[in-house]
């Protein structure tokens, strides 16, 4: 991971910066990088409710790091690569919004409206606290400055209550009220109301298994889904592509996506994700638990085969070759064990 520095300087003649100001700004920076990381994880893993704190801890800034300078993350948590990507998003966002422009930057870079709202709130707080000062950030030999955020324009992205978005889950009829429907992607059903057009397709949607549902999504402050209103449409999901495997102790960027096959068993209320080429089949009581377990198992296989220096044969060699196919050619070659010379 490349060295990345933050510092606060005064815009006035007095070059001294109060510790309270510098400390608050770094708190704001930490909140911002955590929320950027949360947005990345939600997008990469297709998680629908609260993001586990063990995953968010990957984005905790620490002084030092592998370069013994600037800030870094805990390499033991497999967070160097994903932290570098998050810092890249942070740098690009501050570079653009620091010009005073807004445009469609937030919509283009933070697709989920709830995560976009959190990042927008963080940026507004940072701009308020930095008034009269300048935040310098980036590589030591290429520092940029942040000071000119248009808070008024950015505030339109700060939402409260529900927002039109899509959710992944299962639709079923409400046993208590005829003609009513509920939505599930965790251990509990949540209420769902349908638009007139969507009501016609609810019965069909209930037989599709795991589907996309577009409507007015409500979440609490932690990200838990509370309700779905004014549902507009349903769409079946045939596969879930993972281009990054993320666990509390691992981060594996993939050049080719792992196409996991999703299913739901109403009788047991179990969610399933499978990837037959590697023999992965996971069943859990919530969609998010199922995804996390899938990533854990893929990472386990990765450690056992892709990172091993052993020579494999038969099915084990096939497993290794499949795993290495997710890497760029130059990296997969590095992972292959050197052939032993003939004696």
Tokens of 51: 């993001």
Per-residue pLDDT for 214 more than 70?
yes
Q: How far apart are CA 259 and CA 256, in angstroms?
A: 9
Q: Does residue 78 contact residue 250 with C-beta atoms inside 8 Å?
A: yes
Alpha carbon of residue 172 to chain centroid: 28
Locate 261 and state its tokens.
């096959």
Q: What is the pLDDT of residue 199?
A: 86
Whether 117 and 158 have beta carbons less than 8 Å apart is answered as yes
Query: 57: closest CA among 69, 73, 43?
Result: 73
CB 278 within 8 A of CB 289: no
- Closest C-alpha among 142, 140, 147 to residue 5: 140
3-state SS assignment for residue 289: helix
- Is the distance from CB of 301 to CB of 319 less than 8 angstroms? yes
pLDDT above 90 covers a percentage of the chain that reads: 75
Confidence of residue 24 (pLDDT cuts 50, 70, 90): very high
Please tell me the distance from the alpha carbon of residue 271 to that of residue 187, in angstroms, as a whole number. Answer: 10
Task: Kindly report the average pLDDT of the chain as a whole number.
Answer: 90
Mark out the alpha helices in 144-279 (DSSP H runs): 151-154, 196-199, 202-205
The phi-psi region of residue 207 (left if phi > 0; otherwise alpha if psi is between -120 and 50; otherwise beta) is alpha
CA–CA separation, 102 and 74 (whole Å): 33
What is the structure's pLDDT at 262?
A: 97
Domains of the chain: 5-157 (no CATH), 163-236 (2.40.50.140), 240-335 (no CATH)
Helices (H), 46-192: 53-56, 80-97, 105-109, 113-129, 151-154
pLDDT at 105: 96
Q: Mind listing the pLDDT tens digit for each residue in 225-278? A: 999 999 999 999 999 999 999 999 999 999 999 999 999 999 999 999 999 999
Contact assessment for residue 39 and residue 119, using Cβ atoms and an 8 Å cutoff: yes
- pLDDT at position 287, please? 98
Residues in the chain: 343
Q: Contact at 8 Å (CB) between 46 and 72?
A: no
Work out the pLDDT band at 331, boundaries 50, 70, 90: low
- Which whole number is the average pLDDT over 23-27? 95
How do residues 138-188 score in pLDDT, each as one tens digit?
988 889 999 889 999 999 999 988 999 999 999 998 777 777 899 999 989
* pLDDT tens, residue by residue, 89-137: 999 999 999 999 999 999 999 999 999 999 999 999 999 999 989 999 9
Phi, psi of 208 (to 5 degrees): -85, -15
Mean pLDDT of 207-216: 94
């Amino acid at each position: 991971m490349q060295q990345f520095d933050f510092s606060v300087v005064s815009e006035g003649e007095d070059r001294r910066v109060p510790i309270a100001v510098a400390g608050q700004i770094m708190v704001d920076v930490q909140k911002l990088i955590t929320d950027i990381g949360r947005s990345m994880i939600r997008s990469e893993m297709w998680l629908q409710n609260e993001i586990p704190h063990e995953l968010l801890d990957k984005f905790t800034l620490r002084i030092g790091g592998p370069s013994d300078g600037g800030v870094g993350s805990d390499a033991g948590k497999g967070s160097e690569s994903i932290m570098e990507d998050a810092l890249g998003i942070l740098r690009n966002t501050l570079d653009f919004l620091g010009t005073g422009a807004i445009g469609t930057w937030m919509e283009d870079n933070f697709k989920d409206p709830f995560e976009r709202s959190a990042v927008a709130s963080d940026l507004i707080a940072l701009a308020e606290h930095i008034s009269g000062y300048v935040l310098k950030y980036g590589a030591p030999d290429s520092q940029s400055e942040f000071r000119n955020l248009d808070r008024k324009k950015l505030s339109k992205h700060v939402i409260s209550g529900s927002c039109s978005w899509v959710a992944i889950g299962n639709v079923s009829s409400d046993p208590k009220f005829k003609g009513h429907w509920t939505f599930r992607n965790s251990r509990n059903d949540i209420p769902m109301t349908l638009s007139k057009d969507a009501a016609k397709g609810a019965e069909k949607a209930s037989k599709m298994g795991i589907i996309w549902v577009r409507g007015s999504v409500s979440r609490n402050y932690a990200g838990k889904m509370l309700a779905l209103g004014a549902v507009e449409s349903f769409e079946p999901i045939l596969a879930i592509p993972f281009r990054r495997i993320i666990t509390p102790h691992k981060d594996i960027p993939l050049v080719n996506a792992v196409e996991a096959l999703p299913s739901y068993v109403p009788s047991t209320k179990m969610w399933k994700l499978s990837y037959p080429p590697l023999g992965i089949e996971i069943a859990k009581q919530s969609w998010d638990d199922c995804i996390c377990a899938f990533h854990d198992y893929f990472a386990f296989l990765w450690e056992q085969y892709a990172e091993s220096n052993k020579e494999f044969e038969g099915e084990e060699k096939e497993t290794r070759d499949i795993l290495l196919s997710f890497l760029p050619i130059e990296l997969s070659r590095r992972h292959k064990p050197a052939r032993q010379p003939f004696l």
